[in-house]
Amino acid sequence: MKLDQLYQEIILDHYKRPHGRGLREPFDAEAHHVNPTCGDEVTLRVSIKGDTVADVSYEGMGCSISQASASILHELLKGGTVEESLRRHEAFAELMGGRGQVEPDEAVLEDAVAFAGVARYPARVKCALLPWMAYKDALARAVPEEEKA
């Protein structure tokens, strides 16, 4: 059934038992993103040590898709390199923009492949992307341009 593709067990699990939730110190930058059509909000902090994403902490309110997405983002990006996080960000954005036609790479996206079904629901894509956009924003503030090159 279609709806099961949207509300996959992994998504519901992350929604009910979010990983890494709560805003933590220290952090290098913070971003607050809002989805103006529905009022979903996320505040996300990044802590960068050298080229490593030392922590991603977040707080937010919203639907199961946006909140589970933040939880999975935390799992996926924390502890990896900044470069790796950008690669995963790109893969996730591509999956979400693919209208269900993009085959996700499980090696890159891990649990986030569960969001493949969300891409078939255009009204929900923004929910899934909300924390990822906040991450990119926070990262840009934390890492000066020349260091990213």
- Residues 6 or more apart whose Cβ sits within 8 Å of residue 149: none
Contact between 10 and another protein (CB under 8 A)? no
Contact between 52 and another protein (CB under 8 A)? no
What is each CA distance from 119 to 2, 68, 127, in whole angstroms?
12, 15, 11
**What is the nearest approach in angstroms of another protein to the Cβ of residue 124?**
7
Judged by CB under 8 A, the stretch of 44-52, 64-72, 85-93, 96-104 that binds another protein is 64-72
Contact between 2 and another protein (CB under 8 A)? yes
B/e letters for 61-87, b = 16+ CB within 10 Å, e = fewer, are ebbbbbbbbbbbbbbbbbeeebebbee
| Site size toward another protein, by CB under 8 A | 19
* Site string (88-127) toward another protein, x via CB under 8 A: ---------------------------------x--x--x
